[in-house]
Amino acid sequence: MSKKKKDASLPKNVREKDGKYTYRYRVPTTKVVDGKEKKTTKQMESPRFGTVQEAVDFGILIQARKIQKTLKYETTLTVNAWSKVWLREYTIEREPRKKTIKNRVFALNVILEKFGAFMLRNVTMSEYQDFLYKLKEDGRKRNTIITVNSVASLMFAHAKRTNLITEDPTVGAVIPKEKQVPRKIGEKKQVLPKFLEKNQLKRFLEVARFMLTPNLWALFLVLAYTGLRISEAAGLQWEDIDPNNRTIDINKQLEGDNVRNYSFGPPKNDQSERIVSYGDTVAKTLETLRIWQRTEKLSSKDFNPNDNFVFWSTEFPGYPIPITTIPKIMRRVLKEADLPTSLTPHSLRHTHVSLLASNPRVSLPEIQARIGHKGNSRTTELIYLHVTQNRQLKIADDFEWAINN
């Protein structure tokens, strides 16, 4: 059956049917095909008008929107479907670390629980703001709400950038604040990060040396004496260590839970890429570890030939030490040493900060640079201020001396 021919007397793009007139036009749109965006156009038709001139006037408005680049087709794509496309393209564009992707997926699940079945174009600013309020009412921490809002903003902004929606519902959203209550007498202003006192650390390392293999004992000692993150230590290769200058080059971290299917990722942030110096104790420990490894390598039947790791897996020599097992091992040592079992490998990093802070010659910026913390790190500041509190209390006497002498 042949198509009905357009009346040649009508203006361009104007169609007539049953005495009514419409204006046909095409708009740019984005389809999602097999989880990927595809740019295309969609034919649209105006409402039916009683006169030709009304249809023509509508067409003039359409052409003006084309020139202004405001002509868009709002798709019926759901938030759930778009979230999968966004996460894929976000990963390609930014190449985030696995931990970052895990956090993004967590936030997406919170968003999809509310908006997953919504059409992308139907999420309003009012509904989104109510969603943030509800998260607070449900007892979600403010940091969690900030994380969720960050992901929602990235996802909807990308949808607007690709012409899937005309308005981003997250723009101008307000993160509800947590209620501030007055501090009670004697109550600490903020929770201090957990760390070991000097005598406790000595006790821990003594028991660790007695209980553990030289490999594991060396790991805990290096963590305590350098302030490295566990992922940084696990990713160390002997090539990263300069025994002549006694420095460790922190240029990567270990990723993945499977020791035989590991990968390397960049340091946590720009500040984390650094050179860390070490002293006699670490130097002797590393030399002891090298000797132990040479013996172990000779008796190993399935040694990893690819990377020259400093700290090995107990089960698979030559492969990296599995990060997820270290807290369990540390708890065993803490229990044997009669120390708080709530401490973690990261507590050794805090311990390093506290012992450095006890030295009046070492400043806060120097400590932050050594452990790869940002200058505004609240964690480091809390430990530093706690340890240096006695020095702070003496400042009044120092002032009295200065003004009277």
Contacts of 354 (CB under 8 A, 6+ apart): 195, 197, 383, 386, 387
Give the CA-trace dihedral at 162, 168, 169, 175, to 10 degrees. 110
Least confident of 61-65, 80-84, 315-319: 61-65
Least confident of 48-52, 230-234, 287-291: 48-52
pLDDT of residue 186: 59
Question: pLDDT tier at 403 (50, 70, 90 boundaries)?
Answer: confident
263: three-class secondary structure by DSSP: strand
The answer, yes or no, to whether residue 2 has pLDDT greater than 70, is no
pLDDT of residue 208: 96
- Mean pLDDT on 128-138: 94
- Mean pLDDT on 5-22: 81
Which structure tokens are listed for 388?
A: 């240096």
Q: Specify burial of residue 160 (Cβ count, 10 A radius: 0-12, 13-18, 19+).
A: middle
